[in-house]
Amino acid sequence: MNEPQYEFDLELETEHIRAILNTDNLETFRELFLNYPLYDQAQLYRNLSPDNRLKIYNYLSPKEMSDMFEILEEDVESVDTYILEMNKQYAADMLANMYTDNAVDMLKQLEPEMIPKYLRLMDDEQAAHLREVLVYEDATAGAIMTTEFIAIKANQTVRSAMAILKSKAAEAETIYYIYVIDSKEQLVGVISLRDLIISHEDKMIYEIMSDRIIRINVDEDQADVARVARDYDLLALPVVDDNNILLGIITVDDILDVMHEEATSDYSGLAAVDVEETTMNPFRAASKRLPWLITLLFLGMGTSTLISRYEGLISNAAVLSVFVTLITGTAGNAGTQSLAVAVRKIGLPDTEKRTWFSVVMQETLTGLISGLITGLTITIVVGIWQKNFILGSIIGFSMLAAITVANLAGSLIPILMDKIGFDPAVASGPFISTFSDLTSVLIYFNIAKNFLDMLTQ
């Protein structure tokens, strides 16, 4: 007989929690709320009003709140609102109970002048750990590492290493890998938890450790960290400085966050919008979108101006206007596809990258083949539909040229931006589409102009 599955109805459970909070029944609330999985606790907490959350701060200890915020930090883009509504000492105690990397992420969401105020309210040792990580630039290995790890010495026995493991396991973020250091704190080896457990107690650590270590420099870009973890299938990566001093570790949950962040960043660039703005104030969301929209508006006006220059041509062959959007839309789609491929190839590690020339040539040839097949298809369709294969040939040849140029632009523009130091994702889909509109209109009407006499016979 199958066990009943755990079900969680957020709205129903929120109403239940809200009703208990309104009765000010501390024991009933704690018994119910702490029985939920941490993820569900976080969802309930987010779903409550500020007044109800203020009551929760009186009912849960900073340690209990920190356990929930470890989950919340990974699930919510901005948690500064929650921290600022807490009593400062309570918030500081909660942050002090969190793993260093998560606490640092939250502190960095506050105004810079606020951070020292919370650090001063913490235990000196914990505050020192946070200060060590706060100095690293965003999106680097140092910024996402945690300092809660277990390190042992190479010249000790498995017995003594196990004693250290037992005493520090509760504080460490992960114990699947135990890192081995020498007397100068330099990283010299790694041991899996399994190997440590099955080894004889009197064996020396240097006899069973592996000295083939995949390590990350503290200044390494977080995207490179994620690629290394993916390529080597690791649950954690040690972080060292230029002198090979072990500074911290990056765990798989942070690596997954980086992958999500990088994917979101790329998608935001391709769409010319912040895809994380779903919970943002409408006015703030509009202010973020407007610069792109205004820029694209002026580019679009360029297309309209270009079309107006061909009014005489259109008046002589009005049927040409029917197919303008067909050509510009198809070319824009092709350019966006090429852009996505080029941005992806730019993001590959150096060992997997091809030369920019080969990328551009491949996309141009792809555009040429796609344009040729699409052009032939539309030539036949328009020729039969309009009973005019001259018109069909104009549309088909324009489609071929427009798609080829769009693919060239879609691959070349992000590569050029990358070469001069800009984020290639800024060459967004809407920008490429608008640029393709300009070139497609220019191609279409110039081809039509050269065949006007044949078209109007």
Q: What is the pLDDT along the chain (457 residues), one digit of tens a residue?
A: 455 566 788 899 999 999 999 998 999 999 999 999 999 999 999 999 999 999 999 999 999 999 999 888 766 667 888 999 999 999 999 999 998 888 998 998 899 899 999 999 999 988 998 998 999 988 899 999 988 899 999 999 999 999 999 999 888 888 889 999 998 999 999 999 999 999 999 999 999 999 999 999 999 988 888 888 888 888 899 999 999 999 999 998 888 888 777 665 555 555 555 545 445 566 666 666 666 667 666 766 777 776 777 777 766 667 777 788 888 888 888 887 887 777 777 666 554 555 777 878 888 898 899 989 998 999 999 889 888 888 888 889 989 998 999 888 888 887 777 777 666 655 566 677 778 888 888 888 888 888 766 655 5
Q: Which CATH architecture has domain 10-139?
A: Alpha Horseshoe (1.25)
What is the dihedral sign for C-alpha 149, 154, 155, 159?
positive
447 in Cβ contact with 394 (< 8 Å): yes
User: Going by C-beta distance under 8 Å and a sequence separation of 6 or more, which residues neighbour residue 436?
Assistant: 328, 331, 332, 334, 335, 402, 405, 406, 409
CA distance 47 to 157: 51
Confidence (pLDDT) at 241: 94
How many other CB atoms are found less than 10 A from the CB of residue 456?
Answer: 9
Domain with CATH 1.10.357.20 in the chain: 277-455
Confidence (pLDDT) at 351: 44
Compute the radius of gyration of the chain from its Cα atoms: 30
Confidence (pLDDT) at 152: 94
CATH topology of domain 151-266: CBS-domain (3.10.580)
Q: Name the class of domain 277-455.
A: mainly alpha
448 in Cβ contact with 390 (< 8 Å): no
Domain with CATH 1.25.60.10 in the chain: 10-139
Confidence (pLDDT) at 238: 95
Domain with CATH 3.10.580.10 in the chain: 151-266
> Which position has the token pair 């998608």?
267
Q: What is the largest CA-CA distance in the chain?
A: 99
Burial 225-256 (b: 16+ CB within 10 A, else e): bbbbbeeeebebbbbbeeebebbbbbbebbbe
How many other CB atoms are found less than 10 A from the CB of residue 287?
Answer: 11
Q: Are strands 246-251 and 236-240 parallel, antiparallel or unpaired?
A: antiparallel
Confidence (pLDDT) at 200: 93
Confidence (pLDDT) at 385: 87
405 in Cβ contact with 446 (< 8 Å): no
